[in-house]
Structure 1
Amino acid sequence: MQVTNTILMIRPVSFRMNEQTAVNNYFQEDIDVQNTTINEKAQQEFDAFVEVLRSKGVNVVVVEDTKEPDTPDSIFPNNWISFHANGTIGLYPMFAENRRNERREDILDILEEQGFKIENVVDYTSAEAEGVFLEATGSMALDRVNNKAYCALSERADEELFIEFCEDFEYSPVIFTANQSVDGKRMPIYHTNVMMCLAEDFSVICLDTIDDKKERKNVVDHLKQDGKEIIAITEQQMHHFAGNMLQVLGADDKRYLVMSSAAYESLDQNQIDAIEKHCDIIHSSLKTIETCGGGSARCMMAEVFLPRSK
Structure 2
Amino acid sequence: MQKLSVQAPRGVVMIRPHHFSPNTATAEDNVFQATDAGRTAAAIAAAAHAEVTRAAEALEAAGVAVHLFEDEGRGTPDSVFPNNWFSTHSGGHVALYPMFSPSRRRERRQDVIEMLKQRYRVQDVIDYSGLEQDGLYLEGTGAMVLDHIERVAYAARSNRTNEVALERFCTHFNFEPVVFDAVDAMGRPIYHTNVLMCVGTDFCLIGLDTIRDSARRAEIAGRLAGTGRAVIDLSHEQIGEFAGNAIELQGKDGRIVAMSARALKALRPQQVATLEGLATILPIEVPTIELAGGSVRCMLAGIHLAARNLALSSAWNGWRA
Is the pair's TM-score, using the shorter chain for normalization, greater than 0.5? yes
The residue number in structure 2 matching 1:297 is 296
In structure 1, what is the Cα distance between the partners aligned to 2:59 and 2:246? 13
Give the deviation of 1:111 after TM superposition: 2.5
Which residue of structure 2 lines up, in the alignment, with residue 272 of structure 1?
272
Q: Secondary structure in 1 aligned to 2:188? A: strand
Which residue number in structure 2 is paired with residue 256 of structure 1? 256
Deviation of residue 309 (structure 1)?
Answer: 2.4
Counterpart residue type for residue 196 of structure 2: M
Deviation at 1:66, TM superposition (A): 3.3
Distance 1:105 1:218 in 2: 40
The within-5 A match list for 1:1-310 is: 1-32=6-37, 33-67=39-73, 70-113=75-118, 115-182=119-186, 186-252=187-253, 254-291=254-291, 293-309=292-308
> Comparing 216-225 with 168-177, which one deviates more in the overlay?
216-225
Letter matched to residue 233 of structure 2: A
- 2:11 touches 2:303 (CA, 8 Å); kept in 1? yes
Supply the distance in 2 between the matched residues of 1:164 and 1:214 (Cα, whole angstroms). 26
> Partner amino acid for 1:266?
A
Contact 2:136–2:164, Cα closer than 8 Å, also in 1: no
The one-character-per-residue Cα deviations of 1:206-240 (angstroms, maximum 9, x if unpaired) are 00101201110121122122111100111001111
Q: TM-score, normalised by structure 2?
A: 0.92
Cα RMSD, aligned residues only = 1.1
Deviations 1:27-75 (A, max 9, x none): 001221322211100011111111111111111110111326x100000
Q: Distance in 2 between matches of 1:150 and 1:282?
A: 24
* Count of aligned pairs: 303
Cα distance in 1 for partners of 2:268, 2:31 equals 24
What CA distance in whole angstroms lies between the structure 2 residues aligned with 1:273 and 1:105?
Answer: 42
Q: Normalising by structure 1, report the TM-score.
A: 0.95
Amino acid at match of 1:22: A
Q: Is the 8 A contact 2:156 2:193 kept in 1?
A: yes
CA distance in 2: counterparts of 1:23 and 1:119, whole angstroms: 38
Structure 2 stretches lacking a partner, 5+ long: 1-5, 310-321
Deviation at 1:129, TM superposition (A): 1.1
Give the whole-Å Cα distance in 1 for the aligned partners of 2:205 and 2:47: 29
Q: Distance in 1 between matches of 2:27 and 2:57?
A: 29
Q: Supply the AA of the counterpart residue of 2:125.
A: V
Q: Is the 8 A contact 2:209 2:236 kept in 1?
A: yes
Q: Using the aligned pairs only, state the percent identity.
A: 39
- Which secondary structure does the structure 2 equivalent of 1:179 belong to? coil
